[in-house]
Amino acid sequence: MNKFYHTLKTIFLLGWSIFVVFPFLWALSTSFKDANAITSGATYIPWVDFEPSTQGWTSLFTTGSQGINIVGPFIDSAVVTLIASLVSLILGTLAAYGLSRFEYRLGFVKNSDITFFFISQRIMPPIVLAIPFFLMLKELGALDTIFGLVLVYIALLLPIAVWVMTDFFSGIPKELDEMAMTDGCSPIGAFFRVVLPNSVPGLVVAGMFCLIFGWNDFFFAFTLTFTETQLLPVSIVSLNSSVTPWWSLSAFALISVAPLACVAVIVERYMSRGTMTGAIR
Q: Are 80 and 231 in contact (CB under 8 A)?
A: yes
From CA 130, how far away is CA 221, in angstroms rounded?
10
Between CA 260 and CA 255 the distance in angstroms is: 10
The DSSP output letter for 46 is: B
Please, what sign has the CA dihedral across residues 242, 243, 246, 249? negative
Q: Which is nearer to other proteins, 47 or 263 (CB)?
A: 263
Nearer to other proteins, 71 or 176 (CB): 176
CB of 83 to other proteins, least distance (A): 14
CB nearer to other proteins: give 83 or 91. Answer: 91
> Can you state the angle between helices 200-215 and 146-170, rounded to 10 degrees?
140
Render 58-78 in DSSP notation, one character per residue.
Answer: HGGG--SSS----HHHHHHHH
CB of 67 or CB of 187, closer to other proteins: 187
Minimum Å gap between C-beta 118 and other proteins is 7
Least separation, in Å, of the C-beta of 40 and other proteins? Answer: 9
Closest separation between CB of residue 11 and other proteins, Å?
A: 10
